Amino acid sequence: MGTVLLVGTRKGQWIGRSDDHREEWTFTGPHHNMEEVYSGLVDTRGSTPRIFAGASSSWLGPQVRWSDDFGETWQETPGGGVRFPEGSDAAVERVWQLVTGAEPGVVWAGTEPGAIWKSVDNGETFALEEGLWNHPQRPEWGAGFGGQAFHTILPHPTDPRSVTAAISTGGVYQTTDGGASWNPRSKGIAARFMPEGQQFPEFGQCVHKVTRHANRPERLYVQNHGGVYRSDDEGRSWTDIGAGLPSDFGFPIVVHPHRPDTIYVFPLAGGDGRFPPEGKARVWRSDDAGESWTAYGDGLPDEFYVAVMRDAMCADDHDPAGLYLGARNGAVWGSADEGVTWRKLVEDLPDVMSVKVGTF
How many residues are recorded in the chain? 360
Chain centroid to CA 158: 20
* DSSP conformation letters of 178-238: TTS--EE--TT---TTSPTT-SS-SS-B-EEEEEEETTEEEEEEEEESS-EEEESSTTSS-
Residue 80: the pLDDT is 65
Q: How far apart are CA 296 and CA 288, in angstroms?
A: 16
Nearest to 27 by CA among 340, 321, 330, 307: 330
Query: Is the peptide bond between 26 and the residue preceding it cis, with omega within 30 degrees of 0?
Result: no
Mean pLDDT by groups of 10 residues along the chain of 360 residues? 95 97 97 97 94 93 95 87 87 96 96 96 95 96 88 97 96 97 96 88 95 96 97 97 97 98 96 90 98 98 97 97 98 98 98 97
The answer to whether the CB of 27 falls within 8 A of the CB of 346 is yes
Per-residue CA distances from 106 to 125, 205, 215, 350 (Å): 10, 29, 20, 31
- Identify the H or E element spanning 130: helix 130-133
Q: What angle do CA 260, 263, 268 make, to 5 degrees?
A: 160
Name residue 96's amino acid. W
The answer to whether the CB of 343 falls within 8 A of the CB of 22 is no
Residue 323: the pLDDT is 98
The answer to whether the CB of 127 falls within 8 A of the CB of 118 is yes
End-to-end CA distance of the chain: 6
Q: Specify the long-range contacts of residues 326-331, CB closer than 8 Å, at least 24 apart.
A: 326/7, 326/352, 326/353, 326/354, 326/355, 327/281, 327/352, 328/352, 330/9
- Identify the H or E element spanning 109: strand 107-112
Instruction: Give the helix, strand, coil percentages of the chain, each rounded to 5.
Output: 5, 45, 50
Nearest to 201 by CA among 160, 159, 170: 170
Nearest to 37 by CA among 53, 50, 51, 17: 53
Q: How far apart are CA 149 and CA 144, in angstroms?
A: 9
Number of CB atoms found within 10 A of residue 237's CB: 14
Residue 193: the pLDDT is 85
